[in-house]
Amino acid sequence: MRERKERGLGIKARRVIAYITLIIVTFFCLFWFYVLFVNATRSKGELAKGFTPIPSKYLITNWIGVLHGTLPIVQGLINSAVIATLSGALGVYFSTMTAYALHAYNFKFRKAIFTYILMIMMIPSQVTALGFYQLLLNMKLINSFIPLIIPSIAAPVTFYYMKQFMESNLPLSLVEAARIDGSGEFNTFNKVVLPLMKPALAVQMIFAFVGSWNNYFIPALILSDDKKKTLPILIAQLRSADFLKFDMGQVYVMIAFSILPVIVVYIFLSRFIVGGVAAGSVKG
């Protein structure tokens, strides 16, 4: 009896410590969002005085100032949404298809192809930026959305994650059963494989969407027309203006405005994250 009581007290103590740790981590994760939204409600003069945890009354004023400024904020939101949505959807779909090909088919050089894709994953985009820009010049694709969408189809990180998920959750016997029933390869992939991959698809869609939404380097390299620029570029332009002209309150409003769509996407797909990450990271 005594050992049971001690064991029960030990479990309760560990549970209390876990909850306290989670509360502290959650607080520090969410505190900076609170600071952002509080600063979005303050004027430039109030921001110059330092931080205060109490929201002010200039949110509407700052928002009107952003909308009536020289930068096309709403168009920037539309541009970012189109690029991020298409990049995420196409990248996840074709990366999953590539992972399925290496998982379900046994052919020569399969391991070599897998290794080659992983090698590409280690190359940062900054290394190939000059050659990529020269290629776009030759193809006359500068100041276009196409270079921001089509290359995202080749997403090595997404491919690797989906490959690991398939090894844990997609038995080849199920694929063979679909083939015996007369299902074509594309029909098997779209109607049998993809439904089983929903958790992983949702997780990777979030990561791909956020990565494309926050991407600054490549869009800033190839987009010059203000009406085609994405929100990160417009925020940087507003922040890099003359210190005497730009309003820091408007900058905070723009940052908060750019974060909201990401939060909406995360909330919509977040129910898949825990199951997707757990299943994809543990090989059965």
Q: Are residues 173 and 233 in the same domain?
A: yes
Give the CATH number, domain containing residue 106. 1.10.3720.10
Residues with Cβ within 8 Å of residue 213, at least 6 apart in sequence: 80, 84, 231, 232, 258, 261, 262
List the domain range (segments joined by +) for residue 10: 2-60
What is this structure's pTM? Answer: 0.80
Please state, in angstroms and as integers, the Cα–Cα distance from residue 35 to each residue in 21, 29, 30, 57, following that order: 21, 11, 9, 15
Q: Which residue has the tokens 């541009």?
A: 79
Domain termination residue (choose one: 38, 60, 82): 60
Total structural domains in the chain?
Answer: 2
Helix (H) / strand (E) element for 280: namely: helix 273-281
Q: Looking at residue 226, what DSSP letter applies?
A: G
40 and 96 together in one domain: no
* Per-residue pLDDT tens listing for the chain (284 residues): 566 665 666 678 888 898 999 999 999 888 888 888 888 888 888 887 888 888 888 888 888 888 877 788 888 889 999 999 999 999 999 999 999 998 888 888 888 988 888 888 888 777 888 888 888 888 988 999 999 999 888 888 899 989 988 888 888 888 888 888 888 888 888 888 888 888 888 888 888 998 899 888 889 889 888 889 998 888 888 776 555 566 788 888 888 888 888 888 888 777 766 655 555 444 44
Looking at the structure, do residues 41 and 141 belong to the same domain, yes or no?
no
Mark whether 142 and 223 lie in a shared domain. yes
**Domain-terminating residue out of 60, 86, 106:** 60
Q: Indicate whether 244 and 260 sit together in one domain.
A: yes
What is the structure's pLDDT at 93? 93
Tokens of 30: 């969410």
Q: Is 23 exposed, middle or buried (0-12, 13-18, 19+ CB in 10 A)?
A: exposed
